[in-house]
Structure 1
């Protein structure tokens, strides 16, 4: 009993409008631990008491009403002020949950567009002159890590994740060559000295 009371005093995970998928998993687990998830998932109706209710009916009615009220209160407490203003007029815990899912998770088309936008942003990145290869690589990986809401979709579509990895490798290699020290034979960047056509021992493969 003490452990249950201690858990109930733990603050719920707060949703501020970002990373909905992560919050939803944590919040569902939190509600289950408090025996409140059923009120969110099933959205049962609390029927009015009959004219001459029994003690059992009164007890059951009170418990169902209390659980539903606690579920709603917990959801209200688990969002930021900005998000709360969007759901404060909703009366049912299930309506609140469904609204947040629709508003912040989006449908497959929207998630797909987010992935495409991520890939576009990824490809448009350029190495800064003062940036090291490691710093540039870390910045690219940071873009991927910030799109945590899309990871489930990206795992389902291996081609998307593969494209990001391939793009990362290609861009890193290209930017590394671009920042290669000036060639000792021609003075230009972008290639190592042993590949320069102006080196003394350069030969044409065809005519020698």
Structure 2
């Protein structure tokens, strides 16, 4: 059960497996793996098999060691390929020939390589931070471009890449860009230091934005409460006015109630009314 769950890439003793996907990623990992295992193995792949001049019956211990390393380099490459990829290089006689066959298959000839470099260089020159993109996301896209160029043999110096990232930032970052340019020598500044400074500034901007949003929210709530308070005061004022009117009405009714009209009878055919006050 443990062997079945043992994933490729978790051991320094197992080469990374290539199944035809993402050749550049596999090539870089394979290079590191071989160099870490035995740097002479990587030299065999880059420069060709170690030369043995003696006939087999006259092999010395040093000759046998060279032949063993040549075979080991081929064996490791074979172990790093799926069946489909192994079929591509199965007729190759040396590890260098196997490696070159894979390179041409997935990177193309020198002309194709130059075309790919032109495409990536254009992407590098037009590179800009996208709206809504974080510093981490922007830097990930940037490294995809620069790593692709490096694998094809095209490299930019550190100062050029630092300036490129600073130029790619939007206008809202201008104060920070100016501060970095004034405080640092861009030719000596590392990308890691630059990205760390930009990420710290991004966090501060987010915190200030949240604080401003919270303040606006509190002000809105206060305005609503003030409006409600004004309405309550108006209700109290209306209530007071209504109470005053009711008081005056009751007072008037009491005054009128004190007076009565009495009819005493008829005098000469006319009705006579006497107004008496109690």
TM-score of the superposition, structure 2-length normalised?
0.41
- The 1-side partners of 2:86 and 2:52 are apart by 25
User: Number of aligned pairs?
Assistant: 154
**Cα displacement string for residues 9-58 of structure 1 (whole angstroms, at most 9, x for unaligned residues):** 8112445513366335403413525x5345333424556736xx35xx26
Task: Report whether the alignment pairs 1:43 with 2:49.
Answer: yes
CA distance in 2, matches of 1:161, 1:88: 45
RMSD of equivalent CA atoms: 4.1
Segments of structure 1 that go 5 or more residues without pairing to the other structure are 1-7, 175-179, 181-208
| Structure having greater relative contact order (Cα 8 Å, sep ≥ 6) | 1
From the two aligned structures, give the one with the greater helix fraction.
Answer: 2
Please give the alpha-carbon distance, in whole angstroms, between the structure 2 residues aligned to 1:171 and 1:80. Answer: 49
Question: Offset at 1:70?
Answer: 1.4
- Provide the rounded CA distance (Å) in 1 between the counterparts of 2:73 and 2:28: 19
- 8 Å CA contact 2:15–2:30 kept in 1: the answer is no
Alignment correspondent of 1:10: 13
Displacement, 1:115? Answer: 3.0
* Structure 2 runs not aligned, ≥5 long: 1-10, 175-208, 210-278
Aligned twin of 1:72: 74
- Structure number, greater radius of gyration: 2
The answer to whether the Cα contact below 8 Å between 2:44 and 2:50 also exists between their aligned partners in 1 is yes
- Matched residues in 2 for 1:49 and 1:93: separation? 21
Change (3 A) 1:44 1:143: same
Q: Partner of 1:97 in structure 2?
A: 99
What TM-score results when the alignment is normalised by the length of structure 1?
0.51
Matches within 5 A, 1:80-159: 83-102=85-104, 103-104=106-107, 107=113, 110-120=116-126, 122-123=127-128, 126-127=130-131, 131=132, 135-147=133-145, 148-150=147-149, 153-156=154-157, 158-159=159-160
Q: Which has the higher strand share?
A: 2
